[in-house]
Amino acid sequence: MLELLRSKKVFYFCLSVALGLTVYLLPTPEGVSQQAWQLLAIFVFTIAGVISKPLPMGAIAFLGLMLMAVTRTLSFDEAFSGFNNAIVWLIVFAFFIARGFIKTGLGSRLAYMIMSLMGKSTLGMGYGVVATDLLLAPAIPSLTARAGGVIFPVLSSLSKAFGSEAHSHPRRIGSYLMTTAFQGSVVTSAMFLTSMAGNPLIADLAKEVGVELTWGKWALAASVPGLLTLLIMPFLIYKIYPPEIKETPDAKVFAKKQLKEMGPVSFQEGVMLATFVLLITLWIMGPVIQMKAAVAALIGLSALLITKVISWDDIIKEKGAWNILIWFATLITMASYLNKLGLTKWFSGWIVSNVQGAEWFIGFTVLALVYYYSHYFFASNVAHIGSMYPPFLILCVGLGAPAGLAALTLAFFSSLFGGLTHYGCGPAPIFFGAGYVPVSTWWRNGFVLSVLNILLWGGVGSIWWKFVGLY
């Protein structure tokens, strides 16, 4: 059996190398630099290795870093530039802060409180988590901070309370809750102008085609497709990726008993709670006081270290955070330089040249789908928006699509496509890094739910926008 496993890993590694080499040996398209094409080949090798896992993800990413530097595709400083990215460090800080929730017991207390209110079934808890995220979404503009810093620590404790951990019985309840919470956060980030960092940028870019997206218009447009998605999605995940524990009739009684045994809030829990409130306040006020979410997280983490709620040893031992630092920073670098070197611009132009002259509805549909699924090549929603939203929006309108329809469809897709992969948006590495969901299952679920998103937002949504006069 061991030899068989080894042979499979060797095969998957060779397959990843072959895919990368195939891209490298293909003729470089006109308008694309050799440097950009070479980086794409390394990116394909890395993604193939991340999916097939012949080596741990961190090791595959490390090989990608080595290839970029050795082949001089990027300079050493450029290859390691992803380690300077604020989102990467926000994700790492979120893991450390989550450790504080677990260590102090505050996470367990919050988990038991949720169980006592909505613990009759696993599905009910899934809806409870999504509802919590929806309430926070308008006030916390950082998707990573909201989902990774607020929701994730509670879910970790909630899963643990049911004996479901990444290394032991992940499918019992943890896998379902992690998947539901992550995919739910992708939807809530699309529902308000202030629920995702890229949304204000979209509103500004939409003015170029004469579409004004105010906070009220955005919320109105997203209300019907968003709420409908949040009603269907937890149930759909429950069917395609069911938890082992479905009914928890004794959960409420058990939770209340555990809360009673825990007694009053301890001093360390109080410090953790105060830090948590401080973080939420800073994340909400961030745009006003011009403070990045990562800086706010750094303040909160420092407070936990000073008060000894968590120790430096706790930080050193948080292997999941350091693992994510390696592979996510590497993918951020690759995706960023594919954009900087003009590959995404060339790709946009190639698509544009192939849909010109088409009937507007067909051309618009093709462009919208390409815009959505091209996110497989991005590790940031904002980077995708900045490079592809303007040309795709202008072309859609140029083909004859109503400006409001085009602006809104691409706007909402700009959040929804973050659910495709385990690196596509800020909270993805956090939830994936918890280890509850294998990468192949993550991608499968992401694709299935992308179909739901496209049907509800592109189909039902467009009818709703027409009904309320938004185009």
Are residues 186 and 284 part of one domain?
A: yes
Q: How far apart are CA 393 and CA 396, in angstroms?
A: 5
Whether 219 maps to a domain, the answer reads: no
Are residues 149 and 5 part of one domain?
A: no
The confidence score (pLDDT) of residue 378 equals 83
Burial of 471 (0-12, 13-18, 19+ CB in 10 A): middle
pLDDT band at 432 (very low <50, low <70, confident <90, very high): very high
- Structure-block tokens of residue 13: 């590694």
Q: How far apart are CA 40 and CA 34, in angstroms?
A: 10
Are residues 47 and 105 part of one domain?
A: no
Whether 330 maps to a domain, the answer reads: no
> 334-370 burial string, b = 16+ CB within 10 Å, else e?
bbbbbbbbbbbbbbbeebbeebeeeebeebbbebbeb
Are residues 68 and 111 part of one domain?
A: no
- Structure-block tokens of residue 104: 């102090």
Tell which of 287, 303, 319 closes a domain: 319
Are residues 278 and 164 part of one domain?
A: yes
* Residue 352 pLDDT exceeds 90: no
Whether 387 maps to a domain, the answer reads: no
How many structural domains comprise the chain?
A: 2
Are residues 36 and 4 part of one domain?
A: yes
Are residues 91 and 72 part of one domain?
A: no
**Inter-residue contact 137 to 192 (CB < 8 Å):** yes
* Residue 3 pLDDT exceeds 60: no
Q: How far apart are CA 62 and CA 46, in angstroms?
A: 9
Burial of 388 (0-12, 13-18, 19+ CB in 10 A): buried
Are residues 174 and 30 part of one domain?
A: no
Are residues 314 and 266 part of one domain?
A: yes
Tell which of 13, 48, 79 closes a domain: 79
Whether 166 maps to a domain, the answer reads: yes
Are residues 94 and 69 part of one domain?
A: no
Whether 9 maps to a domain, the answer reads: yes
- pLDDT, tens digit (0-9, with 9 covering 90-100), for 193-239: 878 878 887 888 888 788 988 888 999 999 999 999 999 999 999 99
- pLDDT, tens digit (0-9, with 9 covering 90-100), for 30-49: 888 999 999 999 988 998 88
Range in 149-158, 174-183, 435-444 with the lowest mean pLDDT: 149-158
Q: How far apart are CA 328 and CA 334, in angstroms?
A: 10
Domain with 276, as residue range(s), is 86-194+243-319
**Inter-residue contact 187 to 453 (CB < 8 Å):** yes
Averaged over 229-254, what is the pLDDT? 89
The confidence score (pLDDT) of residue 1 equals 42
Where are any strands of DSSP class E within 312-353? none
How confident is the prediction for the chain on average, in pLDDT?
87
Tell which of 45, 60, 79 closes a domain: 79
Are residues 269 and 159 part of one domain?
A: yes
Range in 11-15, 20-24, 174-178 with the lowest mean pLDDT: 11-15
**Inter-residue contact 310 to 98 (CB < 8 Å):** no
C-alpha neighbours within 13 Å on the C-beta side of residue 302: 7
Are residues 51 and 153 part of one domain?
A: no
pLDDT band at 6 (very low <50, low <70, confident <90, very high): low
Position with higher pLDDT, 166 vs 142 = 166
Whether 20 maps to a domain, the answer reads: yes
Percent of the chain with pLDDT over 70: 96
Say how many Å lie between the first and final Cα of the chain, rounded.
61
Range in 125-134, 135-144, 277-286, 387-396 with the lowest mean pLDDT: 135-144
Percent of the chain with pLDDT over 90: 40
Threshold 0.95, pTM exceeds? no
* Residue 4 pLDDT exceeds 50: no
Averaged over 367-372, what is the pLDDT? 94
Averaged over 53-70, what is the pLDDT? 90
